[in-house]
């Protein structure tokens, strides 16, 4: 392996190429003179392939693409993607505001294959700080060849996303061949069917859990499995899409939220879960229709829905002719009653958790962390560092605790990218919208 520093100092280096850093990259293409590059260890762009159901729709409107809410005239807009694929008139006639998820994924892959400065197959193994020049030094490794080089940058934007989270009772079964996260669903479900699995339990009542449950129901006639759906929440509740509630995902509310005390912010995040953790009403309707068909068929295996039911323990168990199964212990939230059930497979639709990237380990002590070990982040999405560090460190979708429910929303991606690029370039390349809500969130 060779290791040497490249000659060009980047104004901005993006670590990870998910939807948000892809949005940043699309907007960066519109900033004259900006030296920019983005890196991802994957060989190409891919967005939640394990949940890419043909029938699933994006939960936000198509204007929440990579650029349109900030720069609708960009060549990287979804509408331009339609033009290049000769689908503008069919799209116009279809009157779709919420597009198929697979179309959004294809749009992002189309952009990722064309936007300048994107480097797939390149891992960022470490980030160090050059005190003399006040620069970040990124150790880059070519995944295919192992070649290593060092890339200096004045600013970094982290967009590595979150990682699949299993609930505590399932932690000891991590790696069990029949205990998977919902993000693996489409990669593993045929394996379950081929193995003759006859009982599957889904945990979690967010959008992913609902889609996995619906998919299992639709496969039930062919597979012959019983399906159980458990959630610790009071019910299988919908996302709140009412217009004034949606204003809580706007930049205006985000600015208000950031100014609150940390304890208040944590309390609000817990209470506002229906902004980002519920099920869209269309999916709920599809599930109910499938359950009604189940009732009409009369000969399908059982389906069980258990709200207000928390998983408290899980272990493998021997059950005779079926071999090893998984024994789940649950507690009812209202009655406290405990129950034990056995199942042959568990799909945990239990969400994703923030992760601290390993590449930051060399500079860990230069970063300001809050009392809970999370990034301390400014309103402009810059991570606070010790005073002697002038080089900028920004984050995308790692600021739920500081910016609220809008942080993971695709509709905020272009806005956040514009803020970062304006700060990095030192000029207002992108006009920042100020009037984004009718409500006044703080004291008048």
Alpha helices in 123-241 (DSSP H): 185-194, 207-218, 220-223
Q: Can you count the helices (H) and strands (E) in the chain?
A: 13, 18
Q: Has residue 436 been placed in a domain?
A: no
Q: Which residues contact 317 (CB under 8 A, 6 or more apart)?
A: 324, 325, 326, 327, 342
Residues 172 and 156 in one domain: no
Q: Are 387 and 243 in contact (CB under 8 A)?
A: no
Q: Are residues 178 and 233 in the same domain?
A: yes
pLDDT at 322: 53
Is 259 within the bounds of a domain? no
Same domain assignment for residues 311 and 183:
yes
Q: Are 284 and 385 members of one domain?
A: no
CATH of the domain at 297: 3.50.50.60
For residues 218 and 120, membership in a common domain is answered with no
61 domain residue, yes or no: yes
Task: Show Cβ contacts of residue 245 under 8 Å, excluding neighbours closer than 6 positions.
Answer: 275
Cβ atoms < 10 Å from Cβ of 148: 16
Residue 95 counted as domain residue: yes
The answer to whether residues 120 and 195 belong to one domain is no
Per-residue pLDDT of the chain (444 residues), as tens digits, is: 346 777 799 999 999 999 999 999 999 999 999 999 999 999 999 998 999 999 999 999 999 999 999 999 999 999 999 999 999 999 999 999 999 999 999 999 999 999 999 999 999 999 999 999 999 999 999 999 999 999 999 999 999 988 899 999 999 999 999 999 999 999 999 999 999 999 999 999 999 999 999 999 999 999 999 999 999 999 999 999 899 999 999 999 999 999 999 999 999 999 988 888 889 999 999 999 999 999 999 889 999 999 999 999 999 987 645 567 999 999 999 999 999 999 999 999 999 888 889 999 999 999 999 999 999 999 999 999 999 999 999 999 999 999 999 999 999 999 999 999 999 999 999 999 999 999 999 887
What is the C-alpha to C-alpha distance for residues 293 and 200, in angstroms, rounded to an integer? Answer: 19
Residue 256 lies in a domain: no
- The 8-class DSSP code of residue 369 comes to B
200 and 150 assigned to the same domain: no
Q: Where a domain ends, among 313, 348, 383?
A: 348
**2 found inside a domain:** no
| Cut 0.75: pTM above it | yes
Structural domain range at position 324: 165-239+277-348
- Does residue 187 form part of some domain? yes
> Based on the domain organization, do 335 and 361 belong to the same domain?
no
- Residues 188, 89 share a domain: no
Looking at the domain assignment, is residue 432 inside a domain? Answer: no
- Residue 162: phi and psi, rounded to 5, are -110, 175
For position 356, what pLDDT does the model report? 87
pLDDT the model gives residue 2: 42
Residues 409 and 375 grouped into a single domain: yes
Q: What is the pLDDT of residue 382?
A: 98
Q: Buried b / exposed e across 43-75, counting CB within 10 Å, b at 16+? A: eebbbeebbebeebbbbbbbbbbbbbbbbeebb
335 and 306 within one domain:
yes
Q: How many domains are there within the chain?
A: 2
Backbone phi, psi, residue 14, to 5°: -105, 130
């Amino acid at each position: 392996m060779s290791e040497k520093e490249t000659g060009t100092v980047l104004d901005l280096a993006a670590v990870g190429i998910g939807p948000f850093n892809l949005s940043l990259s699309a907007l960066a293409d519109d900033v004259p003179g900006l030296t920019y590059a983005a890196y991802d260890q994957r060989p190409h762009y891919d967005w939640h392939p394990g949940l890419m159901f043909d029938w699933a729709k994006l939960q936000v409107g198509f204007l929440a693409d990579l650029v349109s809410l900030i720069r609708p005239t960009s060549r990287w807009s979804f509408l331009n993607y339609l033009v290049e694929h000769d689908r503008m008139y069919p799209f116009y006639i279809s009157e779709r505001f919420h597009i198929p998820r697979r179309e959004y994924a294809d749009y992002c892959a189309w952009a990722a294959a064309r936007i300048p400065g994107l480097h797939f197959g390149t891992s960022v193994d470490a980030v160090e700080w050059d005190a003399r020049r006040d620069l970040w030094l990124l150790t880059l490794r070519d995944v295919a060849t192992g070649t290593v080089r060092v890339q200096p940058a004045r600013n970094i934007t982290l967009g590595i996303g979150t990682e699949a989270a299993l609930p505590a009772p399932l932690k000891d079964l991590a790696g069990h061949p029949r205990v998977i996260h919902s993000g693996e669903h489409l990669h593993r479900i045929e394996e379950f069917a081929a193995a003759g699995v006859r009982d599957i339990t889904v945990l979690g009542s967010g959008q992913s859990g609902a889609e996995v449950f619906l998919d299992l129901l639709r496969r039930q006639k062919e597979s012959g499995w019983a399906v159980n759906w458990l959630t610790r929440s009071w019910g299988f509740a919908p996302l709140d899409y009412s217009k004034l509630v949606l204003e809580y995902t706007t930049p205006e509310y985000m600015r208000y939220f950031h100014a609150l005390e940390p304890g208040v912010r944590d309390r609000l995040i817990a209470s506002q879960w229906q902004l980002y953790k519920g099920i869209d009403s269309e999916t709920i309707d599809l599930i109910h229709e499938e359950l009604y068909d189940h009732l009409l068929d009369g000969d399908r295996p059982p389906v069980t829905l258990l709200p207000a039911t928390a998983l408290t323990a899980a272990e493998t168990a021997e059950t005779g002719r079926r071999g090893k199964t998984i024994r789940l212990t649950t507690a009812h939230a209202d009655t406290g009653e405990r129950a034990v059930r056995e199942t042959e497979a568990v799909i945990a639709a239990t969400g994703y958790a923030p992760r601290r990237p390993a590449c930051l380990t060399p500079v860990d002590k230069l970063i300001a962390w809050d009392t809970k070990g999370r990034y301390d982040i400014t309103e402009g999405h810059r991570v606070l560092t010790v005073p002697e560090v002038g080089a900028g460190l920004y984050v995308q979708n790692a600021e739920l605790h500081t910016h609220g429910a809008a942080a993971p929303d695709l509709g905020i991606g272009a806005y956040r990218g514009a803020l970062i690029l304006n700060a990095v370039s030192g000029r207002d390349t992108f006009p920042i919208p100020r009037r984004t809500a009718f409500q006044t969130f703080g004291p008048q």
